[in-house]
Amino acid sequence: MLPGRGPNGRAAAARLSRLMGTRTTWTPVGDGEFFCPGCGGDRNYQRLSGQRRFALLGVPVLPRGATGPVVECAACRHHFGTDVLDHPTTTRFSAMLRDAVHTVALAVLAAGGTCSRASLETAAAAVRAAGFDDCTEEQLAALVEALEADTGRFTGGPCAAGLAIELHEALDPLAPHLAAPGRESILLQGARIALADGPYTPAERDALATVGAALTICSDDVTRLLAAARTPS
Ligand SMILES: [Zn+2]
């Protein structure tokens, strides 16, 4: 007799599933670190592939095929689909954010040509706030000089080719993991560096447009944000 609905039915179903049902045995196929959405933090995980077997009285008798793979959190033991691995760990995410601000600062400084003290101070403060605690104005100035020596041969200013690639490399992987305010905040930090020594130059506008595009901010919003950054809040 098949179990029906209601409390008696559920009890019967539970009894039945103890007698027979599908059991899955998991085999580790890899490990690493991920952000666990279950217990909310960077954790170790094991990647498991499963083998399903039909079991009678708890004893697996018939293979029912492969299942998974799943990701098991070492801390809370919850299982997740492997798509959880698409999300960066908090450590990785902070590093991406820090690199993004650093690259944007360099691109804007390089686009401005000779770096004024005010631009360097604004840039260094932004980079320190993003996580490079010991970033100094002198370090940034030296990097910009090295970039200019390296990329100055491109026509159309130092930002034209080399830095556009750098910007995309730093920002493209980050953009999908940031909500709109987070992406806008990175662009605004770049805008404030550009504005520290006066109005935007065409090269600074170009660099900021590249930043906006890499952050998947549409060009209308880039224009709006660049105008908003000019108005001191
Ligand atoms: Zn967990």
Q: Which CATH number fits domain 90-230: 1.10.150, 1.20.140, 3.30.2320, 1.10.3680?
A: 1.10.3680
pLDDT of 155 reads: 42
pLDDT of 183 reads: 96
> How many angstroms does the Cα of residue 77 sit away from the middle of ligand 1?
6
Residue type, 205: R
> How many angstroms does the Cα of residue 27 sit away from the middle of ligand 1?
19
Structure confidence by residue, pLDDT tens digits, 88-101: 999 999 999 999 99
> How many angstroms does the Cα of residue 155 sit away from the middle of ligand 1?
52
> How many angstroms does the Cα of residue 26 sit away from the middle of ligand 1?
17
Q: Which residues of 124-143 are buried (b: 16+ CB within 10 A; e: fewer)?
A: bbbbeebebeebebeebbeb
Rounded to an integer, the average pLDDT of 207-216 is 95
> How many angstroms does the Cα of residue 65 sit away from the middle of ligand 1?
27
| Nearest alpha carbon to residue 127 among 116, 112, 143, 147 | 143
Q: What is the mean pLDDT of the chain?
A: 88
> How many angstroms does the Cα of residue 34 sit away from the middle of ligand 1?
9
pLDDT of 134 reads: 93
Confidence of residue 14 (pLDDT cuts 50, 70, 90): confident
> How many angstroms does the Cα of residue 76 sit away from the middle of ligand 1?
4
Confidence of residue 1 (pLDDT cuts 50, 70, 90): very low
> How many angstroms does the Cα of residue 45 sit away from the middle of ligand 1?
8
Rounded to an integer, the average pLDDT of 58-71 is 83
Q: Domain coordinates of the chain in residue numbers? A: 21-86, 90-230
Question: Which contacts (CB < 8 Å, 24+ apart) does range 220-224 have?
Answer: 221/184, 222/187
Rounded to an integer, the average pLDDT of 193-216 is 94
> How many angstroms does the Cα of residue 87 sit away from the middle of ligand 1?
14
Our CA dihedral for 221, 223, 228, 231, rounded to 10 degrees, sits at 180
Compute the 3-state secondary structure of the chain and give helix, strand, coil in percent, each to the nearest 5.
55, 20, 25
Give the least confident one: 48-57, 84-93, 206-215.
48-57
Q: Which residues surround ligand 1, an ion (CB under 5 A)?
A: 36, 38-39, 73, 75-76
pLDDT of 192 reads: 96
> How many angstroms does the Cα of residue 88 sit away from the middle of ligand 1?
15
> How many angstroms does the Cα of residue 36 sit away from the middle of ligand 1?
5
In Å, how far are 26, 61, 88, 182 from 64, measured between CA atoms? Answer: 14, 9, 34, 46
Structure confidence by residue, pLDDT tens digits, 102-160: 999 999 999 887 789 999 999 999 999 999 999 999 999 999 888 877 765 444 454 45
pLDDT of 5 reads: 59
DSSP string for residues in 164-209: HHHHHHHHTTTGGGS-HHHHHHHHHHHHHHHHTTSSPPHHHHHHHH
> How many angstroms does the Cα of residue 39 sit away from the middle of ligand 1?
4
- Ranked by mean pLDDT, the top range of 142-151, 160-169, 190-199 is 190-199
Paired tokens of 222? 């880039």
% of the chain beyond a pLDDT of 90:
66
Rounded to an integer, the average pLDDT of 154-179 is 78
pLDDT of 176 reads: 93
